[in-house]
């Protein structure tokens, strides 16, 4: 049985998945502070700390279970070049995917194997090819479109996403990287299939339909 | 005991409280269809049908209770001139407020009393004056900033809103009237104080804090 294609992101209440990059913020201090607020629900979780090797302890409970379930359902991921380029500098050697990851890029490069089971594959022939390869690698588990926002929206507009979950964070950016600016609103319809508040955020899951 | 100042709106998942007005949509058919989708959770409710005199019947349950509670907590409303101008043409003679409503406008006009207890007062000296008058009229009930989006944001940025509830609707507009574009993100902080899924939408309530 084939798995689903999904994404899961933290989103500000005003629809942004990243703050605005500003010229008056060359060291990205403001950007980082805002981004931390967006992701704040994740950092104290036991699963998050374990997966990034931040050490023992951390909060358990429903938010932690949701983070763990998102990880465990994922048999392979797809990401854009920009997310990979940022992550390549930021992830620890044991990158936090522990599965195959298919990077949509024009760069030709051999697979890059990391300790802990993450293998990055560089796909040069488009988003559908990357998804096909991820589906094959995932087996009966799900494929996660990991990001960034532009890549996620390409998959949504192509009708290739089955469902997604937004962790709606109690923060307003005003400007930034909008997840859905450019969505094909005449074609994409949503159905709320699950909605689950935890202490800091609300996790809402939508099925994506074609009008 | 003074009441709270709040607003309550239906918002698309991408942060819009109204669709985009487009020149290729002169009869506003597309606009109306999108707006109906945004508000769709309200129309079947027993309270909504009662309040607009649409007749007997309608759905009961938690969504209906939320709509009724929002109405019953409201001792007076504040609205912008644009919302009033649109509503003046659209509301039935028995306007759906049944309380005093303070309209922020440059227009000088005598109070306009409607059957059923709604009285529109036209306030010419700014948003704080309108709110003061609404507070006095509301007694120990709450003041609702009814809309539109621009007026709501003025009150938020002025630090005059205590809390608000968003009915997060499963719809994407891509473009439209953003509720929070222009928010003073360096000053406004939110705390999720309540989150309640119903069948079609999720009702999330935030307390507004000053950073």
Alpha helices in chain A (DSSP H): 29-39, 46-51, 62-73, 81-90, 127-138, 149-157
Probe site for chain B from A204, A207, A209, A210 (most B CB atoms < 10 A) = A204
B positions 32-61 inside 8 Å of A (CB) = 34
| Sequence-ordered list of residues with C-beta below 8 angstroms from that of A56, at least 6 positions apart, any chain | A49
- Spatial distance between the Cα atoms of A170 and A7, rounded to a whole number of angstroms: 20
Contact across the interface for B170 and A180, Cβ inside 8 Å = no
Measure in Å the smallest separation between the Cα of A170 and chain B Cα atoms: 5
* Residue B204 with chain A: CB contacts under 8 Å: 13, 168, 197, 202
Task: Average the pLDDT over B52-80 and give the result.
Answer: 94
What string of DSSP letters covers B82-105? HHHHHHHHHS-SS-TT-SEEEEE-
A17 in Cβ contact with A37 (< 8 Å): no
Give the minimum alpha-carbon distance from A196 to chain B in angstroms, rounded to a whole number: 7
Instruction: Using a CB–CB cutoff of 8 Å, tell me whether B20 touches chain A.
Output: no
For each of the domains in chain A, give its residue range(s) and CATH number, in order of start. 5-210 (3.40.430.10)
> What value does the mean pLDDT take over residues A121-146?
98
Distance between CA B35 and CA B138 in Å, rounded?
30
> How close is the nearest chain B Cα to the Cα of A18, in Å?
14
Q: Are strands B100-104 and B74-80 parallel, antiparallel or unpaired?
A: parallel
What confidence score (pLDDT) does residue A1 get?
59
pLDDT tens track for A69-126:
999 999 999 999 999 999 999 999 999 999 999 999 999 999 999 999 999 999 999 9
Residues above pLDDT 90, as percent of chain B: 92
How many Å lie between the alpha carbon of B145 and the closest alpha carbon of chain A? 19
Tokens 């962790």 found at:
A167
Helix axes B127-138, B149-157, angle to 10 degrees: 90
Asked if the Cβ–Cβ distance from B192 to A188 is below 8 Å, we say no
Residue of A nearest to B33 (CA): A186
Q: Is the pLDDT of residue B54 over 90?
A: no
ipTM of the complex: 0.94
Mean pLDDT of chain A, nearest integer: 95
- Residue B99: name the closest of B45, B149, B136 by CA: B136
CA B167, CA B42: separation in Å to the nearest integer?
10
How large a percentage of chain A has pLDDT more than 90? 91
Mean pLDDT (chain B) is 95
Residue A189, SS3 per DSSP: strand
- Asked if residues A16 and A173 have their Cβ atoms less than 8 Å apart, the reply is yes
Of B168, B170, B185, Cβ closest to residue A174: B185
Contact check, Cβ <8 Å, A34/B197: no
Give one DSSP letter per residue of A106-134, joined into a string.
S-----EE-TTS-EEEEE-S-HHHHHHHH
**How confident is residue B116, by pLDDT bands cut at 50, 70 and 90?**
very high
CB contact under 8 A, B13 and A14: no
Interface check A178 vs B, CB under 8 A: yes
pLDDT score, position A56? 84
> For residue B1, is pLDDT > 90?
no
The closest of B52, B121, B43 to B92, measured between CA atoms, is: B52
pLDDT in tens, A25-67: 989 999 999 999 999 999 999 999 988 888 889 999 999 999 9
> pLDDT, tens digit, for every residue of B125-145?
999 999 999 999 999 999 999
Question: Which residue's entry shows tokens 């760069």?
Answer: A107
Residue B168's pLDDT is 98
- Cβ-Cβ pairs closer than 8 A, A with B, add up to 88
Q: Do A190 and B171 touch (CB under 8 A)?
A: yes
Residue of B nearest to A189 (CA): B171
- Report the residue of chain A nearest B176, measured CA to CA: A181
Nearest CA-CA distance, residue A183 and chain B, Å: 5
Q: Where does the pLDDT of residue B81 fall: very low under 50, low under 70, confident under 90, or very high at 90 and above? A: very high
Distance in angstroms between the alpha carbons of the first and the last residue of chain B: 26
């Amino acid at each position: 049985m084939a798995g689903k294609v999904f994404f899961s992101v933290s989103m500000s209440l005003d629809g942004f998945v990243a703050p605005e990059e500003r010229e008056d913020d060359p060291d990205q201090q403001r950007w980082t502070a805002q981004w931390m607020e967006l992701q704040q629900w994740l950092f104290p979780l036991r699963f998050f700390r374990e997966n990034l090797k931040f050490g023992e302890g951390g909060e358990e409970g429903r938010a932690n279970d949701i983070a763990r379930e998102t990880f465990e359902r994922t048999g392979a991921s797809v990401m854009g070049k920009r997310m990979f380029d940022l992550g390549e500098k930021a992830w620890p050697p044991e990158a936090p995917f522990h599965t195959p990851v298919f990077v949509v890029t024009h760069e030709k490069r051999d697979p890059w194997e990391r300790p802990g089971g993450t293998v990055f594959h560089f796909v040069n022939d488009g988003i559908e090819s990357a998804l096909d390869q991820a589906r094959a690698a995932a087996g009966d588990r799900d494929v996660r479109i990991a990001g960034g926002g532009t890549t996620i929206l390409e998959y949504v507009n192509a009708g290739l996403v089955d469902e997604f979950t937004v962790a709606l964070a109690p923060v307003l950016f005003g400007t930034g990287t909008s997840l859905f600016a450019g969505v094909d609103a005449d074609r994409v319809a949503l159905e709320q299939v699950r909605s689950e508040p935890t202490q800091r955020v609300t996790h809402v899951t939508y099925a994506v339909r074609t009008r």
